[in-house]
Structure 1
Amino acid sequence: MSLVGEERKGIILELLNSEGQVKTVDLVKKLAVSSETIRRYLEELESEGRLKRVYGGAVKINVNGEEPSYLKREVLYADEKRSIGKAAAALIEDNDVIFIDDGTTPMQIIYFLMNKRNLTVLTMSMPALHLLMEYKNKELFSGDIYLIGGKVNNIHSRVSGSIAEKMVALFHADKAFISIDGITQKGITVFDAERGQLVYRMMENSKQRILMSDSSKIGQTQLYRMAEWRDIDIVICEKEMPREWKKTLNEQEVSWIVAY
């Protein structure tokens, strides 16, 4: 017997609660219905305030409007983040000075640096620092590591604040790899203004600014506008850019790399 609509929507919500995300293509296979039917279910659930539709599926609603903790962010979209990290690492050349922010997506770059030589890595992320130290102790990383010092945020395992901004001003990077919490055709947003200000300062001191984002951030807008499209050189995502964004990004000379 086929499942009725309400039962199917119940299954979607169960998957969402356990995984934090659902993808339209996966739901089509699991529920044996068309993509149009899945989109209708997601629209109905969104109108009921039970999920947030994003490009290619839906995510759980953040009822508090607050940034999820590092541990929660780490497990979401893990496969997509790893492919994005691999694509980003391919842009890094020997002798580069690179900035890796505190996002769980830029951190994936570190796993693909083993064949790079004489790098200098600047980071505000405690987990990234620990992983770089581990790799260097095992002789899997060649280069220098700088931790941007400042006020410690224990929930998000990063530093920020005015002291960190002053330290960032001392460095110049070849490439800044940044993560965000929402991107729309109008620009780039994050939950935390303090973090956003620090990352933007590093972007100002970098020759090339590379935005790394899984597709769940597409179409979302958060509290603080961190940057405009004119501030970005490259986007790396596991999905193609929305078609309606093409004109805007072309005008701002932003390249979009699809990570596989």
Structure 2
Amino acid sequence: MKVLAEERQQLIIQLLKENSVVKLQEICEQTDCSESSARRDLQLLEERGLLVRVHGGAKVKHSLQRELDMSGKAAKNVTEKEIIAKAAAALVANDDVIYLDAGTTTLAMIPYLKGKEQLTVVTNGVLHASRLADQRIKTILIGGELKATTKAIIGVKAVKELQELRFNKAFLGTNGIHQKYGFTTPDPNEAAIKKVALEQSEATYVLADPSKFDAVSFVKIARLAEATIITSSLKTQVSTRYRRQTTIQEEAK
């Protein structure tokens, strides 16, 4: 059945919300339209700032500087974050000194750290420090400026403190994972903290649900090869592309 142009465009936006990428062929098959009509729809939607055209289709247009607050982040991809957090916590051994980034997925790791012996956790997350203390885990909260939206400690003082420390493992969050641009985040101050934590750690793990792949934010944290990615199930095509550049630990839902 033929679909009107306006209905096609609404369907395209819906497909992008679900998958972040939509293919020209997929639009044609689902709406019974020609490739020229689908291309015209993509051009109009791009002109309205709703997507970015790529070869063979389109992808979500990401804001390089937009960042949700902690409550907004916590409400997204909850199941995936729990799966990833549990897998990450399983990598923590007794006697480890670890760094926990101030993200919602690293926050979800904390209940799974219970029972680890002689564990020391350094964090720049105020919420993280509070929950770690509730579990009687030795915790070091670095000092500096408090960022209101993410409850993260940032700034020159925080960077200097981290440069004096060493970690067995660091667990970081990210806003974007991209084959060309690596790991990225909107805030230069948070990026600086993440970079130092990575440099000071024997092994670094980036915790990211599948929605972070093929996304780009304002500031680069590191190259893909500099950390292992822990995520939930990826599409085979995405997994294959990224495994050429880094190690990925996928956890089934």
Q: Name which of 200, 221, 225 aligns with 2:220.
A: 225
Aligned to 1:68: 68
> Given the superposition, is the C-alpha separation of residues 22 and 162 from structure 1 closer, same or farther in structure 2, using an over 3 Å criterion?
same
Aligned to 1:252: none
- Contact 1:160–1:198 under 8 Å retained in 2: yes
| 1:230 Cα deviation after fit | 3.2
> Given the superposition, is the C-alpha separation of residues 129 and 46 from structure 1 closer, same or farther in structure 2, using an over 3 Å criterion?
farther
Aligned to 2:183: 188
Q: Name which of 152, 156, 179 aligns with 2:146.
A: 152
Q: Name which of 8, 18, 35 aligns with 1:22.
A: 18
- Contact 1:22–1:59 under 8 Å retained in 2: no
Query: What amino acid sits opposite 1:145 in the alignment?
Result: T
* Counterparts of 2:29 and 2:119, CA distance in 1: 48
1:38-73 deviation line (CA, Å, top 9, x unaligned): 9x99x84963533579xxx987854x8322222211
1:61-116 deviation line (CA, Å, top 9, x unaligned): 54x83222222111111111111101101111111111000111111111211232
Q: Name which of 37, 42, 45 aligns with 2:30.
A: 37
* Counterparts of 1:175 and 1:258, CA distance in 2: 18
Aligned to 1:80: 80
- Contact 1:124–1:147 under 8 Å retained in 2: yes
- Contact 2:176–2:183 under 8 Å retained in 1: yes
Sequence identity of aligned pairs in percent? 27
Tell me which structure has the larger Cα radius of gyration.
2
Listed as ranges, the gaps of 5+ residues in structure 2 are 21-25
Listed as ranges, the gaps of 5+ residues in structure 1 are 25-32, 137-142, 250-254
* Counterparts of 1:58 and 1:127, CA distance in 2: 34
Mapping for residues 1-260 of structure 1, pairs under 5 Å: 6-7=6-7, 10=10, 22-23=18-19, 37=30, 44=42, 47=46, 48-50=48-50, 62=63, 65-136=65-136, 143-186=137-180, 187-232=182-227, 234-240=228-234, 241-249=238-246, 255-260=247-252
* Counterparts of 2:141 and 2:215, CA distance in 1: 30
Residue aligned with 1:244, SS: helix
> Given the superposition, is the C-alpha separation of residues 184 and 23 from structure 1 closer, same or farther in structure 2, using an over 3 Å criterion?
closer
Question: Could you tell which deviates more after superposition, 167-176 or 126-135?
Answer: 126-135
Query: What amino acid sits opposite 1:176 in the alignment?
Result: A
* Counterparts of 1:159 and 1:216, CA distance in 2: 25
Aligned to 1:139: none
How many residues in Structure 1 have an aligned counterpart in Structure 2?
A: 233
